Amino acid sequence: NAGVTQTPKFQVLKTGQSMTLQCAQDMNHNSMYWYRQDPGMGLRLIYYSASEGTTDKGEVPNGYNVSRLNKREFSLRLESAAPSQTSVYFCATQSGQGGTGELFFGEGSRLTVL
Amino acid sequence: SQQGEEDPQALSIQEGENATMNCSYKTSINNLQWYRQNSGRGLVHLILIRSNEREKHSGRLRVTLDTSKKSSSLLITASRAADTASYFCAACTSGTYKYIFGTGTRLKVLA
C-alpha cells in the first residue's frame, strides 16, 4: 500500500522550460491537493480538486495548471518555469467528505529552476 | 495572504518539559488540524479538532480551539528528543475543501 506517490522526487529546470509533477494515490480518496513549501513560509495551497472532474485555485495558483486525470491521479504543470517556482512541492489527499478529514501527504518533489 | 500564523517560530526546550505552540487563522472553519514534519520529509497528521469542540487529547498531545479568537494551541507534554520537528496547523475553510496552513513552529528538544 503505497499511499500517495509523487514523481519525480528531484528535478532541475532552466528558466522557461516546462514540466509536469505527477501524483497518484491508492487510498480511494476523493479530494487531492498540491502545495508548495518555501523556507520559513509553511505550506501554501496551489490548487485542489474536491472530486474527479473538478479543480479549484488555492492561495498561489499563478504560473501553474492542474489536471485531475481520474480519481487516482492529480498532476501539476509548470508551463514556463521561473526561478521563483524553486520549491518543494507536496501532493496530498483528504480522507473525509466535505473537508472533514485528515490530509495524507506524499514525500515531496524538490524542484530547482535555474 | 490567507496563510495563518504560528508562534513562536522556534522553540527550544529540555527533555521532559512541556512545549506549547499557538496558531491563528483568518476564516470560519470546519475543523483545524495539527501536523508534524521531520526535516525534509512529508507531513504527518497528529490531531484534528472540529469547530464545535473546544479541547481534545491524544496521548501526550492536547489541542484547544477558540473560534471567537480564531486561534488554537498545541501542547506536547513530557517532551522527548524524538519530538524535535516542525509543527504546523491547518485550518479547513468552512464550506470548502481548502486547507490553509500556518507558517509553522520549529521545536527542538534537547536531551
- CA distances to A73, B65, B92 from A31, rounded to whole Å, are 11, 25, 13
Q: What pLDDT sits at residue B5?
A: 81
**In angstroms, what separates the C-alpha of A74 from chain B's closest C-alpha?**
15
Minimum-distance CB partner of B98 among A4, A48, A106: A48
Q: What pLDDT sits at residue A69?
A: 86
Mean pLDDT in each 10-residue stretch from start to end of chain B (111 residues)? 79 97 92 91 92 96 96 97 96 88 94 89
- CA distances to A31, B60, B75, B96, B97 from A99, rounded to whole Å, are 8, 26, 24, 6, 4
DSSP state of A6: E
Minimum-distance CB partner of B42 among A42, A99, A107: A107
Could you tell me the pLDDT band of residue A98, with boundaries at 50, 70 and 90? Answer: low
pLDDT above 70 coverage of chain A, percent: 96
Minimum-distance CB partner of A105 among B3, B42, B102: B42
| Beta carbons of B61 and B79 less than 8 angstroms apart | no
> What does the pLDDT average to over A105-114?
95
Measure the CA–CA gap between A104 and B33, rounded to whole angstroms. 12
Q: What is the pLDDT of residues B7-20, one digit of tens each?
A: 899 999 999 999 99
Q: What pLDDT sits at residue B2?
A: 61
Determine, for residues A99 and B96 on separate chains, whether the beta-carbon distance falls below 8 Å. Answer: yes
Could you tell me the pLDDT band of residue A1, with boundaries at 50, 70 and 90? Answer: low
**In angstroms, what separates the C-alpha of B75 from chain A's closest C-alpha?**
19
Could you tell me the pLDDT band of residue A100, with boundaries at 50, 70 and 90? Answer: confident
**In angstroms, what separates the C-alpha of A100 from chain B's closest C-alpha?**
7
What's chain A's average pLDDT? 93
- CA distances to A26, B77, B98 from A33, rounded to whole Å, are 15, 32, 9
B92 contact residues in A (CB cutoff 8 A)? 99-100
Please tell me the least confidently modeled range out of A37-41, A63-67, A103-107, B56-60. A37-41
Q: What pLDDT sits at residue B54?
A: 97
